[in-house]
Chain A
Amino acid sequence: MLKKLWEYTRNTQVWNSIFRHGPPDNARNRGLAVLTNVFLHLHPVKVRRSGIRLRFTWCMGGITFFLFLVEVATGLLLMFYYHPTVEYAYVDIVDLREQVPLGVMRELHRWGAHAMVVTVWLHMLRVFMTGSYKPPREFNWNVGVLLLVLTLLLSFTGYLLPWDQLAMWAVTVGSNMARATPLVGHEGPGASLLKLGDISLVHAGNDARFALLAGRFVGAGALLRFYVLHCVGIPVVATILMAVHFWRVRKDGGISGPV
């Protein structure tokens, strides 16, 4: 009975329009199953035996990607309750904690973020210790470094959003570093040389920190900018780089093996 239903389903036009190859009972069809799927095709068609050994990869890249998906899902849900405004930001977080059903979503998002930073570092450590950054994978190592930076920036921008004292001063302190950026930070090396007569071209009202905060201190403009960067800007760039990262794992010869 079930077998009949299965046979029928597999011969419908709908099924055949989605899966354009036979059942994966031979090597060719198994290969096609991966190659004809937009999500799977980023992944190598074949994986070395050593590549699936937990002791070799720690699955840290995979766990990191999983945590990213958790952050996307929980973050999307949080956006239904959170207003990035000075008036509401803090009370929305309190509301999530005290009143919203399953407001624990906010804690999942927070702890997921912490975990993601840890797993990204461990993934990097594993890649380093196994020498997987060496040619032909050196380009992918650099993509990975960019992804590490984006992960840290996601944490940094998300840190401001609860809009409590910790958020406020942590970001005040953190963004002060931008003041010391060479040339584009008003206290950085070279900035004092950029002058027209007596007028400084780079000052507190137009330097890198100002662009980040939309003001001279952490205020309403900074909250909105951090929110947009946290929810749209950085995740979009990270997603594109992740696609490149996974694709290059495949193109550079799959997961590296022992020498």
Chain B
Amino acid sequence: MTDEGKVTPLGVPQAGAAAALPASAAVKAPAAAKGATGAAAPAAEMSRRGFLSTLGIAWTTFAAACGAGAIATSRFMFPNVLFEPPQTFKAGFPAEFLPDTVDNRFKEAFGVFIVREQEGIYALKAVCTHLGCTPNWLEAENKFKCPCHGSGFYRSGINYEGPAPRPLERYRIVLTDDGQILIDKTKSFAYEKGEWGSPEAELKV
């Protein structure tokens, strides 16, 4: 169609579309291209620049629409309703917890140990700080022991053996209006950040 030797390659973004055109010969070498373009596309109804910019706008719009659709679709992977135990729950009245005991009742469903000391109650997060397994409370040995890699924690949650690099975390623990203990798993307190001193990290009784 065109004289290949005289066609100047285009450096436009729409390379695929542009390559199919009779190329820029019409602009750069009018004499050579006159016959060719005249024969292929009689009386340009749309300028070359106009065609390319329309094409650019069309592709940009299409790509943006595809991108927006993909982002919207990714929301599909994040369900609104979870069939999991709630993040906050009432654990009963403080008087139900005997001093110097570890309560295992909320471990299975909520992943929480509730520990009652003489002067306070705190909720330990039952997730090992090594790799995230669930430690067990060993009453006879008076310690938490992780079955995965053998990390051990005192009743306070402080680590003392095995690979765990830091103490167990504590969840927010407060009293509700009706006097029950409320455990809030959306907020946790880390010993190494000095957060155990926070009034919500331990419930004074």
Contacts and interface: CB of A to CB of B under 8 A. Distances in A.
A47 interface: no
B133 A206 contact: no
A214 interface: yes
B39 interface: no
Interface in B126-160: 131-133, 148
Contacts of B77: 211, 214
A214 B131 contact: no
B69 interface: no
Interface in B146-194: 148, 186
B79 interface: yes
B83 A173 contact: no
A214 B133 CA distance: 18
Contacts of B119: none
A173 B111 CA distance: 16
Contacts of A203: 186
Contact of A173 (B78, B79, B132, B186): B132
Interface of A: 169, 172-173, 176, 203, 205-206, 210-211, 214-217, 219-221
Contacts of B131: 172-173, 176
B162 to A, nearest CB: 14
Nearest to A210: B78
B133 A169 contact: yes
B82 A172 contact: no
Contacts of B132: 172-173, 176
Interface in B61-78: 77-78
B96 interface: no
Contacts, number: 30
A28 B82 CA distance: 63
A173 B133 contact: yes
A221 B111 CA distance: 18
Contacts of A215: 82, 84
Please give me the 9 A-B residue pairs with the lowest Cβ-Cβ distance, nearest first: A173-B131, A176-B132, A211-B77, A169-B133, A172-B132, A215-B84, A215-B82, A169-B148, A173-B132
Contacts of B186: 203
A176 B130 CA distance: 10
B79 A214 contact: yes
Contacts of B84: 215-217, 219
Contacts of A169: 133, 148
A172 B83 CA distance: 18
Nearest to A203: B186
Interface string B80-94: 001110000000000
A109 to B, nearest CB: 26
Contacts of B78: 206, 210-211
B205 to A, nearest CB: 29
- Most chain A CB inside 10 Å of its own CB: which residue of B84, B148, B186: B84
A92 to B, nearest CB: 21
A164 to B, nearest CB: 14
Contacts of A217: 84, 111
B82 A173 contact: no
A176 B131 CA distance: 7
A211 B76 CA distance: 10
Nearest to A206: B78
Nearest to B83: A220
Given A176-B132, A217-B111, A219-B84, 16 more contacts: A169-B133, A169-B148, A172-B132, A172-B133, A173-B131, A173-B148, A203-B186, A205-B82, A206-B78, A211-B77, A211-B78, A215-B82, A215-B84, A216-B82, A221-B79, A221-B82
